[in-house]
Amino acid sequence: AQSVSQHNHHVILSEAASLELGCNYSYGGTVNLFWYVQYPGQHLQLLLKYFSGDPLVKGIKGFEAEFIKSKFSFNLRKPSVQWSDTAEYFCAVNSYSGNTPLVFGKGTRLSVIA
C-alpha cells in the first residue's frame, strides 16, 4: 500500500527565509506526486504536480518541488517566503497507472512571521 510521510509537523519561518518541506513516499511502482496548500479556513488547492519529465517542477506562487526517485522524495521549496504563505501543506501520491485515489501525508503547518 502507498504511504506518504511528511516529517515536519510545524515549521516557523521569518519572512524572506527559504523554505523546504520534506515529503517521502512508499510505493514500489511509478507514481504521480502532488503538493496541495490549505490556507486557514479554506479548501485544498493544487500547488504543483509531477508525473513525468523534468523532475524539477514549478508551481504557483513561486513554489517548486524536486522529484528524486532514488530517495522516494518530493520536497517542496520556495526561496523566499511571505506572510501570506502561512498555511498547511500536504504532499500526496497515487499510482501512475490504474484507477487509484490520492494518498495524503499528514500535512505540515507553516507559520511565517513578520
Residues making contact with other proteins (CB under 8 A): 6, 9, 32, 34, 42-46, 49, 51, 90, 94-107
Min dist CB 34 to other proteins, Å, is 6
Cβ–Cβ < 8 Å for 48, 35: yes
Location of C-alpha cell 500500500: 1
Quick check: helix, strand or coil at residue 33?
strand
**Closer residue to other proteins (CB): 9 or 28:** 9
With vertex at residue 55, the alpha carbon angle to CA 91 and CA 88, rounded to the nearest 5 degrees, is 20
To other proteins, the closest distance from the beta carbon of 40 in angstroms equals 12
- Nearest distance, CB of residue 94 and other proteins, angstroms: 6
Which residue, 48 or 112, is less far from other proteins as judged by CB? Answer: 48
Q: Whose Cβ is closer to other proteins: residue 78's or residue 107's?
A: 107
**Checking DSSP bridges between strand 64-68 and strand 73-78, what pairing results, if any?**
antiparallel
Q: How far is the C-alpha of 108 from the C-alpha of 11, rounded, in Å? A: 7
C-beta of 10 vs 80, nearer to other proteins: 10
Residue 105 C-beta: closest distance to other proteins, Å: 6
Cβ–Cβ under 8 Å, residues 53 and 37: no
